Every structure is written in structure tokens, then in C-alpha cells.
């Protein structure tokens, strides 16, 4: 039999609601996998677990939210021999899972996953930190990691909206930056910076219409709204337009970006829904596509070249 390890975050909303994990074993056994579940207990546990796995593991499944997947991919990228990874969504928002084509039923998702296809996928970096689908900075973005966990457990996605409403009276921070795209220099004043490798961010689908997850590229959106009214206007336009066609947003596609802040940012970066606390002024972005993921077939033609 093949060997599978499930790295499971027991704090993920859907994991807590499981009646039994025996169904995981039954489904995987049907697909000829001998399976072990390893539970995370604290931050970065998933990274530590996958780094220590034997080279003969055939499949590692990340069972949790987008943050758990980030930790699993981070650890895998630090291995000499990278393992085949898959995402089983068990979190609150699950942006990556929705983009990949998963459903809300974990048993069906596991079947979809195990019947999927192997694809080399772009893994992005900010300095030496991995991000799977988004690195962003700006006001209100902290709701992804600062929304109280007890709210998320009770209210789900609504918790994020309530946290954002609490922050809506605060002044908008703006950032003077110098940046290079493919070696060409630019500068500007922006309130929001998004570097993404995704068609879905913060629960919003199709923010880009032509993203490919294996094109060795990421997308950059630099937004410069002058006030809260313009922020709301842009947010509404994102629901109906390709983000690169929205006035006030500067767009690039590249695999080589450098950003220097004239002053240290007052807020942290948000990396795949988690806080990235590095407070430096210089950030370099790149892509590595040496890792394979087992992907559902649902959106493969749309997301891959």
C-alpha cells in the first residue's frame, strides 16, 4: 500500500465538527493508502511535521485552513526531497480550496482529491517567507488574523465583517514606496498592496480572469484610494470587474519584484491569512515551481497552462 500522512489542525472549524475520523481512513484505504493522522498543537507545527517525514511518504494532506496549508508548503519547500502535497479544506474561509474546486463536504472533497491530477505549482516568496496565494498590506487587512477566534468559531465568515466594521472609523494609512518590476524602477503612494497567485482572495472570486498557477508569475495590484468612500467603491467594483481594469489600481504581472518603503509600514503584512510580523523596509518577491500538488480536476483547465 501507498503511504499517506494527514497533517490536521484540530482548531479548524470543520475538524471540530467531525463525528468520526474513521471515514478518512476508510476512503484512503479504498484508494490503496495506509494513513496516519498527525495533529498540530501550536503555530508552525505543520511545518515541523512535514520536514521530519520520511522520504517514502507518497502523499501529505493538509487538513485545515489556508494558514495550515501555508505551513505545510513552507516545510515541504525546506526539504531536500519534496513530497506530494494536497489540500483538504477544513477552515473558515478556504480561499485556496474554493479556487481549486472543492465543495463543502469533506468526504466528497477527499474523493475528489484522491482522483485528482499532479501539477507543479508556483510557490511564491516574500523575502524568505512562503506564500501560497496572497501577500498583502494595508488597513483592515489585519481582520484576517486579528478577528477573535471565538468570533470565527461562532459566526464563521460574518466574524470578519464585524471586525472590519469596528475598524471603519480609523484613519487610512498610506505608504510611499519605491519598487522595481523586472528591474525597471517606479515609485508611488499607495494604501493597499496585493501580491497574489490566485483568482480568489478574501472570499471574492474571479478578481483576475487570466491567472495561471503554473506560469512562473504572480500578480501585483497597488491601490491608491484617497478616502473610505473610494475604498468602498473599489470593493464594489472588484465584485464585477477584473481588478486590473479598476481606476486607481496599478497592475503588473511578473516573477521579479522588489519593494522599498520610505518609512517602515505601520501595519504587518498578511500572508495567506496570517500575520507576517517582519517590520523591515525592503521586500523581495520571487517564484519557485519545484513542488507538486495533487489537485482536483474541477478547475485544472482554468487554472493551469
Whether 176 and 70 map to the same domain: the answer is: no
Statement: residue 18 has pLDDT above 80: no
Residue 124, in any domain of the structure: no
Asked whether residue 97 falls in the same domain as residue 13, the answer is yes
* 232 sits in which H/E element: helix 228-238
Helical pair 106-114 and 22-30, crossing angle rounded to 10 deg: 30
> Is the domain of 158 the same as that of 235?
yes
Q: Can you tell me the distance from the alpha carbon of 302 to that of 296, in angstroms, rounded to the nearest whole number?
A: 12
Task: Please give the model's pTM, rounded to 2 decimal places.
Answer: 0.88
Report pLDDT for 226.
79
Residues 71-107 pLDDT 10s: 999 999 999 999 999 999 987 667 888 899 998 888 8
Within-domain flag for 278: yes
Please tell me whether residues 177 and 213 are part of one structural domain. Answer: yes
Is 149 strand, coil or helix? helix
* Backbone φ and ψ of 239, nearest 5°: -70, -20
More confident residue, 252 or 158: 252
109 and 140 share a domain?
no
φ/ψ of 158, rounded to 5, equals -60, -25
What is the overall mean pLDDT for the chain?
A: 87
Overall average pLDDT of the 1-18 stretch:
79
Q: Could you list the residue range(s) of the whole structural domain that residue 87 is in?
A: 2-115
Amino acid at each position: 500500500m501507498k503511504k499517506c500522512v494527514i497533517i490536521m489542525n484540530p482548531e479548524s472549524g470543520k475538524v471540530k465538527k467531525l463525528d468520526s475520523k474513521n471515514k478518512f481512513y476508510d476512503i484512503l484505504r479504498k484508494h490503496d493508502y495506509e494513513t496516519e493522522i498527525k495533529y498540530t498543537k501550536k503555530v508552525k507545527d505543520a511545518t515541523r511535521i512535514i520536514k521530519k517525514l520520511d522520504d517514502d511518504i507518497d502523499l501529505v494532506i493538509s487538513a485545515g485552513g489556508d494558514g495550515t496549508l501555508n505551513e505545510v508548503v513552507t516545510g515541504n519547500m525546506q526539504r531536500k526531497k519534496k513530497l506530494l502535497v494536497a489540500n483538504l479544506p477544513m477552515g473558515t474561509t478556504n480561499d485556496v480550496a474554493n479556487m481549486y474546486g472543492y465543495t463543502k463536504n469533506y468526504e466528497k472533497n477527499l474523493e475528489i482529491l484522491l482522483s485528482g491530477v499532479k501539477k507543479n505549482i508556483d510557490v511564491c516568496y516574500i523575502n524568505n517567507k512562503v506564500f501560497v496565494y496572497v501577500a498583502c498590506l494595508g488597513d483592515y487587512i489585519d481582520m484576517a488574523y486579528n478577528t477573535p477566534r471565538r468570533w470565527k468559531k461562532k459566526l464563521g465568515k460574518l466574524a470578519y465583517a464585524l471586525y472590519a466594521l469596528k475598524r471603519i472609523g480609523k484613519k487610512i494609512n498610506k505608504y510611499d514606496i519605491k519598487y522595481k518590476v523586472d528591474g525597471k524602477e517606479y515609485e508611488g503612494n499607495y494604501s493597499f498592496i496585493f501580491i497574489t497567485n490566485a483568482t480568489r482572495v478574501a472570499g471574492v472570486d474571479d478578481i483576475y480572469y487570466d491567472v495561471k498557477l503554473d506560469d512562473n508569475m504572480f500578480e501585483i495590484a497597488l491601490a491608491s484610494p484617497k478616502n473610505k468612500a473610494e475604498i468602498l467603491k473599489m470593493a464594489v467594483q472588484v465584485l464585477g470587474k477584473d481588478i486590473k481594469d479598476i481606476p486607481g489600481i496599478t497592475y503588473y504581472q511578473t516573477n521579479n519584484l522588489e519593494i522599498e518603503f520610505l518609512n517602515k509600514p505601520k501595519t504587518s503584512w498578511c500572508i495567506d491569512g496570517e500575520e507576517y510580523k517582519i517590520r523591515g523596509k525592503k521586500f523581495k518577491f520571487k517564484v519557485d515551481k519545484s513542488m507538486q500538488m495533487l489537485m482536483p480536476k474541477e478547475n485544472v483547465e482554468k487554472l493551469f497552462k
